Structures are given as C-alpha cells and as structure tokens.
Structure 1
Amino acid sequence: MRIVVSGTHSSGKSTLISDFALRHPEFTVLPDPFELVDETWDAPGAAMFAAQLRVAAARLGPEESAGDLIAERGPIDFLAYLLALDELTGSAGSREFLERAAAITTEALGHVDLLVVLPLTARDRLAPGPDEHLELRAAMNDALLDLVDDPDLIGGRSKVVEIAGDRAARLAALESYAIATTA
C-alpha cells in the first residue's frame, strides 16, 4: 500500500501522518520533501518547488521504496504550487517546464494506491501563522483541488479521496480508505 497525503502548507498533513504511523508502524513514513532538499530558500519560488517535485516523484518509484509507505506530499503538491505561483506572479517558468512537471507527476502517481487530499475548510480550524504566505496557500489549495479532478494527470491507479474534519475524524477516514483500498 502506497499512500500520499497532499495539501497546502498548514493543512494538517504532518499531524495526520504522525497519528497514522503510531497506529500502523508497518508503514514507512516519507517526510516532507522540503526536509530532503539541501538548499536553503528565503522565499517560495519555482526552483524550490521544482526541486521538491523531483524528490517527491523519485521516492515513489518502486525501485526507491518497497513495502507499505505513507508520504507527506507527492509531486502533485509541487505542481499545484508551481501553478499557484504562476497564477500569482507569472514566475513559475515556461509552458514546457510546467508540462514536464505534469508528466513527472503523472508518472509518479502511477505508483500510488491512495492519494489523500486535505483541502482547506473553515470548519477544520487549522490556524496558519502570519509567515505562511497565505495568498500562496489559498492559491495552491485551489490548484490542487483542480488537479485531483484531472483524470489524465491522476491516471487509473490512484484512488483519490478528500478528508476533512477534526484530528480523530481525519485519522478514522484515512484508516477506512486504506483498508478499503487494500481489500
């Protein structure tokens, strides 16, 4: 079982994955690609998101990770960030660059069983800090929700589910979908 938990920053991904991992130690946890990129970044930018997209895609390949895993973010997250950045600033790169990022994302999603999306909702009451680039956060959320509805991007393997609610409800939903996907 290969699970990717996606969502904009401060959407509850780390908390959900941590809760799931405590109850399912047989799963390998893959951290946020931001932690794996050696660069230090002053502000979000196309180069940063492209580097993270490549890391997120590469680690989903079957030769990289065998067995059950749950990953914080997949390449679709960073494609959404690139599209959001392009919408907000026009600085995400050329059309060819974005098309290549989409192709890498599609290929990587071919190795994912369950794509869990944590959309921003008012009722979840997650409060980001003032340094969280709120405009980018909202634009990425919108882009991600559009991307998960694109059957050409998602392909036929990944089951896509949106999970909302409080911490306990999110964990229960993830466990339910994980069990149903393996059945």
Structure 2
Amino acid sequence: MRIVVSGTHASGKSTLISDFRAAHPEYTVLGDPFDDVESGAPTGAASFVAQRRVTVSRLRESARESSVISERGPVDFLAYLTALEMLGRGDGALLSRAQELVETSMAHIDLVAVVPLDLRHPIDVPDDEDPALREAMESALLDALDDLERAGDAPPIVTLTGNPQERLAQLEMAAGL
C-alpha cells in the first residue's frame, strides 16, 4: 500500500506517520519535503513549488516499493498555491502546471489519508506559522480532493478525525492492516 498523508501545516501529519511507522516498521517513510528544500520564504510560492518537485520525485523513485507512507503529496502543494491565490499572494501561472503534476502523480498513490484541522483536538500554532494560510490551504486541499474524486482521478481518500490513536486506527482500517 502506497499512502500519502495530506493536510495543512500543524494538523498532526507527522505524529500520525510516526505512530504508523512504530506500528508498521516494514513501511518506508517519505518525510516532509520541507526538510529537503532550501528556498527563501517557507510559505512562499517558490518553496511550495520546490516541495512539490521533491514530493513528485520521491513518489516516482519509490514506485516499485509496495509499503510506503509519504508526508504530503502533490495535491498538498496545489492546495498551498491555490491558498496563496485566495489570499492575494500567489502567481496564477504556477497553478496550471501544479494541476498537471497532481493528475499524473496520482498513479503512484493507493490511498490519500487527509488529516484535517480538528477543533476538538486543536494544535496551537504561533502567528509566524501563518494561520490564515493554514486555514486557506485546508479549504483548498479539501476542494482539490473533491474535484479529483468527482473526476475519477483520485485513489481512495479517507478523512481521519479524532485523537492520534483514533486517527491511526482509521488509517490502518482504510489501508487494510
């Protein structure tokens, strides 16, 4: 099973992946692409484009592996670029290319696990984490996944809710583990 864990920043993706890896050590973890990108503003279009490239490359390079869990997928960065547009901070020219890469890279994914913000289990973030972008990205991500699902261009998508243990159990069930 090739799983992508999607969600806005500070939504619980890293915790979920860490818990999943502890329970399923046979899985290869593709970590947050942000850790492998050095580009100016961490919440700028250039950073999101670079992270998208890293993500697409990792998914292609690991295509022969059957047990992979990735923190973020190409649709995450389409959502970030869309969110920047929504907030008046974007470059519309980047969106069409991002959309193309999302559609072609979905073939390398068996399951998208979405970790939305959860008011019952909040993760507080400081203002320098750009709360407006965080919320706009989540909205754009959910819309993009809905669009892909309606078009038949998406693998199965599961939305994980609750505390970390509940999210892990939901992911394991969706992955057939």
**Separation of aligned partners in 2, 1:113 and 1:92:** 30
Aligned structure 1 segments of 4 or more residues deviating by more than 6 angstroms: none
In structure 2, stretches of 5+ residues that fail to align are none
In 2, Cα distance between the equivalents of 1:154 and 1:6?
19
Which residue of the partner structure matches residue 57 of structure 2?
58
Partner amino acid, structure 1, of 2:13? K
Determine if contact 1:111/1:157 at 8 Å carries over to the other structure. no
Point out where structure 1 has 5 or more consecutive residues left out of the alignment: none
Whether the 8 Å CA contact 1:106–1:154 is kept in 2: the answer is no
User: 1:152 Cα shift?
Assistant: 6.6
Structure 2 distance, partners of 1:33, 1:154, is 27
Amino acid of the residue matched to residue 82 of structure 2?
L
Cα distance change of structure 1 residues 29 and 63 upon mapping to structure 2, 3 Å threshold: closer
The change in CA–CA distance for 1:65 and 1:126 in structure 2 (over 3 A counts) is farther
Query: How do 1:109-120 and structure 2 match up within 5 A?
Result: 109-120=106-117
Q: CA RMSD in A?
A: 1.9
User: Equivalents in 2 of 1:140, 1:165: separation in Å?
Assistant: 20
Change beyond 3 A, Cα 1:32–1:63: closer
Counterpart among 135, 140, 152 of residue 137 in structure 2: 140
Structure 1 172/99 Cα, relative in aligned 2: closer, same or farther at 3 Å?
Answer: same
Are residues 43 and 52 of structure 1, via their aligned partners in 2, closer, same or farther at CA, if it must alter by over 3 Å? Answer: closer
* Deviation larger for 59-68 or 97-106: 59-68
Aligned residues: 177
With the length of structure 2 as denominator, give the TM-score of the two structures: 0.92
Q: TM-score, normalised by structure 1?
A: 0.89
Q: Among all aligned residue pairs of Structure 1 and Structure 2, give the percentage whose two residues are the same amino acid.
A: 49
Residue 160 of structure 1 pairs with residue 152 of structure 2: no
For residues 110-163 of structure 1, what are the alpha-carbon distances to aligned partners after superposition, in whole Å with 9 as ceiling and x for unaligned?
Answer: 110010011112112222223210000000000001011013787455110111
User: Hey, what does 2:32 align to over in structure 1?
Assistant: 32
Counterpart CA distance in 1 for 2:49 and 2:130 is: 18
Distance 1:91 1:157, change over 3 A: closer
Provide the secondary structure at the position in 1 that maps to 2:91: coil
Q: Mark the CA change 1:125 to 1:66 in structure 2 (over 3 Å): closer, same or farther.
A: same
Q: Given residue 100 of structure 1, which amino acid in structure 2 is its aligned partner?
A: R
